[in-house]
Amino acid sequence: MKSHVLILGDTLAGLVAAWRLCTAEYRVTILKATDTLHEATASANPPNEIPDSPIVYGSHAYTDSLLQDLGISRQESGWKRVALEFKTEASASARFSCPPFPAPWHTLWGLATFSALPYRERWRMLTYLEKVWEGVTALPSALDLQTADVWLTNNGQTAAVQKTIWNPLCRFLMGTSLSHTRAGSFTAMLARVFFQTSRRSPRITPLPKVATLLAQSLTERLKQRSAGIDRVPAIEHLQVGAERVTGVRASDGTLYTADWYVAAVHPTTLASFLPERLLARYSSFHQMSQAPFSPMVRFTGLSDHTITTPRLILHDGRFSWTLCHPTDASKDHATLLSCVSTGDAAFLSESDDRIQACALDTLHTVFPDHPFSNPERLHRSHITRQPLGFVPHMPGTEPSRPSNQTPIRNFLLAGSWTDTNASTEIESAIASGNLCAEILLDHPRALTSRNPATYDATL
C-alpha cells in the first residue's frame, strides 16, 4: 500500500501536487482551511459577473502542459496574446514589437525599434548587450548588492527614462519599484521574459480565469479518484517529533496523521502554525516567517465602449499598468478594464472613492480618445486590495523563496512563493506542485507505508 499524503490547503499548488500523487496511486487527503491571513478584500459591492484577467508572460510550459493533461482546450482557457505597450508623457503609447524571429533577435529588433525609448538610451542599451555577448564586458558580480535603478544609471539610462519605461516594467514584472528591487533579480527576470522564444510573449485570459478553471477541474478529478477533501475551520498546530511531522491538529481539535505532509498555504499562514522551535532552529523557516510582501490594489470594471483587440499598457503613476480587452461577460459585448497598483502600501488605506477617481484619471490619461474614463459608461466596477501580493526582491538580501524540501524529513512546501524560477504566480504554483510530487515519487522509501519507528530508521 502506497504512502498517505496530507495536503494542507487547497491552493492551486496543493491541488496540482494532490492530483499528480493520486494518478500515481498515493492516498491523498486535502485539508481545506480558510486562509484568512492571505485573503484579498473587495469593495462593498463585489462583482457578480466581472471576470478577472490574469496575465502570463515568459515561459508558461507548466500551465500549457497542465491544461493539456486536464483536457482543457485553448478555446475553454480563453488565452489571447497581448503586446506590451508603454505610455509616456512625450508621445502616445508605443508598442514593444515581438516579430517571429529566433531568440534573442526578436528582442533586439524590438529594442532597436522601440520608439518610447529615446534613441540615445536605445543605442546605449544595445551597445551594452552587444559587449556582454561578445565577452568584452560582463555583468557586475555585485548585482545583488545594488538596486536596479543604480544598475540602469550605470548603463546610461536617464532618470526620465527610468521613470516612464523601466520603473513601470519593473513594477509589472516584479511588483516593486526599481529602487526596491535587486539588480540581479531584475536582470534575471528580463532574461527570462525577453530573451526567450517569441512564443513566450504575454498572454491574458478573460472568463473564466485560468486559475479558477484549473482548480475546478483538478477538484473534480480528485473526487473521481476518491481523494479525501476535509473542510476544517483552521489549521492550529503542526506536531513535530524527532525530525519528522507526526500530525496536524485543526482548530476544532481533530488530529490528522499521514506519512507525508505538504503545506500548500501562504507562508504567513504557515508560520502561524509552525512550532516556535522550528522557527528558531532553522533559518529557512525563520526567513520565510519574516518575509515582507508587496501589496497590490486593483480597480476593475466593465465599459459599454467596445474594442476588438486586448491591450496591456504600462505607465508611470499610482497605477502601474492598465489592461483592457473585449469580453462577453455581460449580455452585450463590453470591454473589461483593469488598473493595477503594486508596491504602494499607502494606497491600501485610501477610500474606494479616492481609488476610483485615481483609476478614472489614469484611464483618461492612457486612453484620451476613448470614453473609458466616463463613469456613466463604466458599469459594475469594484476594487480589490491584496496586502500580501508579491514577495519583493529587496537590495542586499537573499530572495525569500524557500525550496520545496524542508529540513523536516517528511514535510514539503508547495506554493507560488517557493523557489521555482518561474515568472508568474500561476506558473510558479503549478511548477511547485509538480516538484513536490516529484520529490515523493523519486523518494526510495515513499512507495510503501510504514510505522513511525521504521520510518525514522530508514530516513
- In this model, does residue 58 exceed pLDDT 70? no
Domain boundaries, the chain: 4-39+210-292+398-458, 41-80+202-208+293-390, 100-194
CATH match for 4-39+210-292+398-458 among 3.20.20.80, 3.20.20.140, 2.115.10.20, 3.50.50.60: 3.50.50.60
Instruction: Name beta bridge partners: 237.
Output: 249
All three cell numbers of 389, joined, read 501580493
Instruction: Name beta bridge partners: 8.
Output: 31, 263
Span of 156-165, 394-403, 416-425 with lowest mean pLDDT: 394-403
The per-residue pLDDT for 49 is 45
The CATH code of the domain at 41-80+202-208+293-390 is: 3.90.660.20
- In this model, does residue 196 exceed pLDDT 50? yes
Instruction: Report the half-sphere exposure of 310 (CA within 13 A, side-chain side).
Output: 23
- In this model, does residue 319 exceed pLDDT 50? yes
> Of the spans 46-50, 53-57, 198-202, 209-213, which averages the highest pLDDT?
209-213
Mean pLDDT of the chain: 80
41-42, strands of its sheet edge to edge: 41-42, 378-390, 294-303, 334-342, 321-327, 311-315, 84-87, 94-95
The per-residue pLDDT for 243 is 82
- In this model, does residue 264 exceed pLDDT 90? yes
CB neighbour burial string for 63-94, b if at least 16 within 10 angstroms, e if fewer: bbebbeebeeeeeebbbbebbbbbbbeeeebb
- In this model, does residue 456 exceed pLDDT 70? no
What contacts 337, CB < 8 A, 6 or more positions away? Answer: 299, 300, 301, 302, 303, 322, 323, 324, 363, 372, 378
The per-residue pLDDT for 432 is 94
Span of 5-14, 42-51, 202-211 with lowest mean pLDDT: 42-51
When pLDDT is cut at 50, 70 and 90, the band that residue 139 belongs to is low
All three cell numbers of 380, joined, read 459594475
The per-residue pLDDT for 45 is 42
Residue found under cell 490594489: 297
When pLDDT is cut at 50, 70 and 90, the band that residue 359 belongs to is very high
What contacts 25, CB < 8 A, 6 or more positions away? Answer: 2
Number of DSSP helices (H) and strands (E) in the chain, helices first: 17, 19
The per-residue pLDDT for 395 is 52
When pLDDT is cut at 50, 70 and 90, the band that residue 60 belongs to is confident
Span of 21-35, 184-198, 264-278 with lowest mean pLDDT: 184-198
Are 288 and 402 within 8 A, CB to CB? yes
Residue of 383, 414, 419 lying closest to 296 (CA atoms): 383
Residues above pLDDT 70, as percent of the chain: 79
Are 96 and 125 within 8 A, CB to CB? no
Q: What is the bridge-based pairing of β-strands 311-315 and 84-87?
A: parallel
Predicted model pTM: 0.79
- In this model, does residue 396 exceed pLDDT 50? no
Residue of 433, 434, 427 lying closest to 200 (CA atoms): 427
